[in-house]
Structure 1
Amino acid sequence: MNMSKRTRTPDPNDLVTHAVPGSSMRDTPQFVEIPGARRKQQLKLWGLVGFLLVIFAVAVVLPVATADAATEEKLTFFAVVGATILAVVLVLALIVLLISIYMRGKQAAAIVLRPGATAFITQRTPELLAVLKAIGIDQPRLGLQPAVTVGPEGIELWGPRRAGRPRVTVRWGDIAYVHPDHFVIFNGRRSFPVLTMQVVHKGSGHLLEMPLPISGRNGRAFARIGRANALLGAFARYADVG
């Protein structure tokens, strides 16, 4: 999955112009709704529902309604088709459920090792890996969707649930500030904007933006405004927000 970033160059002067850690979130920047993003999500959902209804109607309802005589063989065929469609839907629902359980488990496992921290799921992106490499962390084993904890130890990225320790730790002393932003993700077929926490790293001697796209609690979709701003509040306990 490729990501292209909305243009923004960190300004070294920002080091002295943003808010003090722990200040009221009313005094700091906040995530704002990406224009049209929620409507696009709703259209995709209703489009999927409509597609399934059309398939069901074509495969089952229409043949039964137009049949001159509902023979036992026809009824058996339509019952098999209907059962197959239902089975596919149930399998997809089970996959979604298992993904949700796994993603919540990753966050819970990290919290067990970092009590009091805040956890969320992010995306391993080329931009994130490039920044990590620039600060001396080359090819960390993060997986496609690593868990992130925000706590006194710093910003930590976790790999598999059984790893027992974070794969990446970025100390607060190496962070100039964080700011709410968004990326435009391109998955090869379409692009869509994603609320993203930009962590501006200063430890290498110059400012580097480390993007952390924010996934929903279940890791299946990306976070909405309320979730993103709650996480921004967690970052604001330890770092400037600018």
Structure 2
Amino acid sequence: MNIPGMKLSVLACLLMLFLLPGFVSRAQDANDLIKKVKEKLALVNDYQAEGVMKTDVSFMKVPESKVTIFYKKPDKFKIRKQDGISIVPKGGGNINLASLFEGNNYTAVAAGKGTVDGSPVAIVKLLPLDEKSDIVVSTLYIDEKESLVKKAIITTRENGTYEMEMQYGKYGNRGLPDVITFLFATKDYKLPKGLAFDYDTGEQTSKANSASGNQKGKIQISYTSYIINKGIANEMFK
């Protein structure tokens, strides 16, 4: 008996059997890679770091400033500028990669290969399982050999899409960068309270704001030293 529909079903099953091992293998590779990244980040329970922060946003005048950065698991984060002003970004996960992986509340999907600064990386997308999560998707560019995230593109509900680029050195064995750079569209990103100061005034501001729709902002922190796992009181983050 020759039934066309049956032939199609058999072909579909054979195709699935052929493709399924590849899908499973890529999913395992993505999960294994994320696991290695997490294991390295998990070595840091807290840190206090010194650094220099540079802000490049067209409609703001923010001088280069020395900063002290405090972090404590899972998501406590604070930046204190040399003039005493404290910056506590909404959601420490916006800055701390470890927070992206907290609770395993995501699906990791392999998304191919690429390069960052000429070095090969594996691309993995993290899809949150929580429908109420502010993060819609995180695309990570990971150095497979070192288990380090070299670049992250994060799409959120509140702040649009922004990028983080990391450069590693002395503290790379714990997943801590020497330099971290944030790139964002000024029309989408809401700068943390405490960072939006020293605005330009007058005609220059109007022109800057009218053209800011397509402009990129950049915040860069260059770390000069870390004190790791020495303990930080919760009161420090108030």
Structure number with the higher helix fraction is 1
Structure number with the higher strand fraction is 2
Structure with higher Rg: it is 1
Query: Which one scores higher on RCO, CA 8 angstroms, separation ≥ 6?
Result: 1
TM norm. shorter chain > 0.5 = no
Q: State TM-score, norm by structure 1.
A: 0.28
